[in-house]
Amino acid sequence: MKKLIFILLVLALLFIVGCTKETSQQESEDAETEDAGYIGDIDSELDTSDLDNLDEDLDLGWI
Amino acid sequence: MKKMFIIFVIFLLSLSTFVIAEENDRTIRDRVTDRVYDVEDKIREGTDTAGVVARRVTAEVREAREKVSSLRERYANSKQNYSDKKEELLQSKERYRECLSSDTENCKLKIKDTKRNAKEHLINSADLILNYLEELKNKIEASEDMTDEEVSELIGEIDENIAEVEEAKSVLEGITEDSSGEEIKEAADTIKDAWKNVKVHAYKARLRHIGAKLNKLITKAEMFGDRAEEKAAEINSEELNSMIVDYNSKVQSARESYELAKGKWREATALDELNVFVRETNKYLKDANDYLKEARRQLQQVIRELKKSNQEISLEVEEVEE
């Protein structure tokens, strides 16, 4: 039983360390994007494909 | 005793999750707040006319920033609803046609069902447009890259567009499963016409918003080039000078592409030519961004070269209120 508790404690510690590391990585990625000097994902910012065919989709002449 | 230990461990595990969530939330909040205070401080102190012009970070701007992710999510949801219902409606098209010349109970139900789906599809289309406009409006409200006048002008137009689509949507609400095909077509035309009127403004507003972002980045890149030139004058290295010339040429190309894009989006006034203008503008904006990306790589080399001579340039820029 003590072993089980020990393993759970270790897992809890690993979980905390893992999450903290992920947060700091995310922060550094965000900082890099802000300071990149260019727009990181301009394609998605310019993308209007969802709306480009709306005129045709609104054509309900067949009803 | 053992049970106590287990409860303690479970408590510890749950607590750690809350602590991490809280920490994460606090870190993000702190970063946003720090950045806002930083910009505000710079604005207050800002007498440096060489700084990049930025919008004042007001309560409205902050409020708009807080809504960015929820509006993005709302738009993504409406996109999903729209696609699902559109698919469902398309699948019932053939069967609906067959049923028009049949009097069976099944066909009567099918016709009613299709009309109900048509109504939902049209309302989803209206919601898609509205959520697109709301997201765009929010991005512009949250922007520091445009002047207050530009923001007011674009927001005013978007608000008018939203009102127009809302009005068309109210017509769609009147469709029932007993509405005739003609009535449904008329209602569909209402939202179709509203979209035609809105599309040019909405697409141009998006291009202007991205253009403003690029313009600011180009202005900053030009300032870095000037700083590098100043430092290079003290060193007198041919290699460094040539690197800076290359850097400046890339920034200049970015500026030229941006100006071409600006010319294009200004030209776009009619719906039938809109796709061509948007395609060309997108190309120029992407070109400008690619040049900026190349310039940034070159700037990193310049910085490394300067460091060899114990020189450095700051990549911090004063952001001053217009």
Chain B residues touching A35 at Cβ < 8 A: 315
Do B94 and B194 sit in the same domain of this protein? Answer: yes
- B164, B198, B232 - which closes a domain: B198
**How many residues are listed for chain B in this entry?**
322
Confidence of residue B10 (pLDDT cuts 50, 70, 90): low
Chain A residues touching B292 at Cβ < 8 A: 37-38
Look at A46 and B275 and tell me if their CB atoms are within 8 Å.
no
Do B167 and B224 sit in the same domain of this protein? Answer: no
Q: What backbone torsions phi and psi does residue B54 show, to the nearest 5 degrees?
A: -130, 160
The Cα B222–Cα B228 span in angstroms is 10
Domain count of the fold of chain B: 2
The Cα B292–Cα B250 span in angstroms is 7
Average pLDDT over residues B283-296: 98
The Cα B307–Cα B322 span in angstroms is 34
A7–chain B Cβ distance below 8 A for any pair = no
Do B117 and B184 sit in the same domain of this protein? Answer: yes
Look at A60 and B295 and tell me if their CB atoms are within 8 Å.
no
Structure tokens at B180: 């005739």
Do B76 and B176 sit in the same domain of this protein? Answer: yes
- Indicate whether B94 pLDDT > 60: yes
Angle between helices B105-142 and B181-235 (to 10 degrees): 30
The Cα B126–Cα B143 span in angstroms is 26
Do B75 and B181 sit in the same domain of this protein? Answer: yes
Q: Report which of residues B69 and B20 the model is more confident about.
A: B69
Q: What does the pLDDT look like over B39-63, one tens digit per residue?
A: 344 433 433 345 677 777 788 888 8
Question: Nearest residue on chain A to B78, judged by CA atoms?
Answer: A50
Chain B residues touching A63 at Cβ < 8 A: 96, 114-115, 118, 181, 184-185
| pTM score, whole prediction | 0.75
Look at B20 and A23 and tell me if their CB atoms are within 8 Å.
yes
Do B127 and B217 sit in the same domain of this protein? Answer: no
- Structural domain contains residue B19: no
Do B243 and B182 sit in the same domain of this protein? Answer: no
pLDDT of residue B37: 40
Do B171 and B253 sit in the same domain of this protein? Answer: no
Domain residue limits at B158: 67-198
pLDDT of residue B42: 41
pLDDT of residue B247: 98
Confidence of residue B273 (pLDDT cuts 50, 70, 90): confident
Do B248 and B313 sit in the same domain of this protein? Answer: yes
pLDDT of residue B287: 98
A61–chain B Cβ distance below 8 A for any pair = yes
Average pLDDT, chain B: 86
- Structural domain contains residue B241: yes
Do B76 and B188 sit in the same domain of this protein? Answer: yes
pLDDT of residue A14: 79
Question: Nearest residue on chain A to B24, judged by CA atoms?
Answer: A23
Q: Report which of residues B48 and B113 the model is more confident about.
A: B113
Structure tokens at B189: 């035309």
Q: Which amino acid is at B256?
A: E
Confidence of residue B269 (pLDDT cuts 50, 70, 90): confident
Q: How many CB pairs under 8 A join A and B?
A: 107
Q: Give start and end residues of each alpha helix (H) in chain B.
A: 2-45, 59-91, 93-100, 105-142, 148-173, 181-235, 238-267, 271-308
Q: Which residues pair with B319 in a beta bridge?
A: B52
Chain A residues touching B91 at Cβ < 8 A: none
Weakly modelled stretches of chain A, pLDDT under 70: 17-34
Question: Nearest residue on chain A to B72, judged by CA atoms?
Answer: A45
Do B192 and B254 sit in the same domain of this protein? Answer: no
Chain B residues touching A48 at Cβ < 8 A: 203, 206, 278
- Structural domain contains residue B27: no
Q: What does the pLDDT look like over B169-204, one tens digit per residue?
A: 999 999 998 899 899 999 999 999 999 999 999 999
- Structural domain contains residue B293: yes
- Structural domain contains residue B218: yes
Confidence of residue B15 (pLDDT cuts 50, 70, 90): low
Chain A residues touching B192 at Cβ < 8 A: 55, 58-59
Look at A38 and B199 and tell me if their CB atoms are within 8 Å.
no
Q: Which amino acid is at B180?
A: S
- B171, B198, B225 - which closes a domain: B198
- Structural domain contains residue B73: yes
pLDDT of residue B71: 95
- Indicate whether B137 pLDDT > 80: yes
pLDDT of residue B40: 41
Q: What does the pLDDT look like over B29-42, one tens digit per residue?
A: 444 334 434 434 44
The Cα B252–Cα B283 span in angstroms is 17
By percentage, how much of chain B surpasses pLDDT 70? 83
Look at A39 and B289 and tell me if their CB atoms are within 8 Å.
yes
Flag the least confident range among A53-57, B238-242, B249-253. Answer: A53-57
Residue in A35, A37, A46 nearest the CB of B210? A46
Please name which of B295, B298, B305, B296 lies closest in space to residue B239, comparing C-alpha atoms.
B305
Chain A residues touching B12 at Cβ < 8 A: 9, 12
- Structural domain contains residue B29: no
Please name which of B121, B100, B119, B124 lies closest in space to residue B110, comparing C-alpha atoms.
B100
Q: Report which of residues B25 and B281 the model is more confident about.
A: B281
Confidence of residue B1 (pLDDT cuts 50, 70, 90): low
- B198, B227, B255 - which closes a domain: B198
Shortest Cα distance from A49 to chain B (angstroms)? 11
Listed in sequence order, the residues at least 6 apart from B246 whose beta carbon sits closer than 8 Å to its beta carbon are B298
A37–chain B Cβ distance below 8 A for any pair = yes
Shortest Cα distance from B79 to chain A (angstroms)? 7
Structure tokens at B274: 């809109």
Do B134 and B239 sit in the same domain of this protein? Answer: no
Residue in B27, B132, B289 nearest the CB of A42? B289
Q: Three-state SS string across chain A, please?
A: CHHHHHHHHHHHHHHHHHHHHHHHHHHHHHHHHHCCCCCCCHHHHHCCHHHHCHHHHCCCCCC
- Structural domain contains residue B247: yes
Q: Which residues pair with B54 in a beta bridge?
A: B321
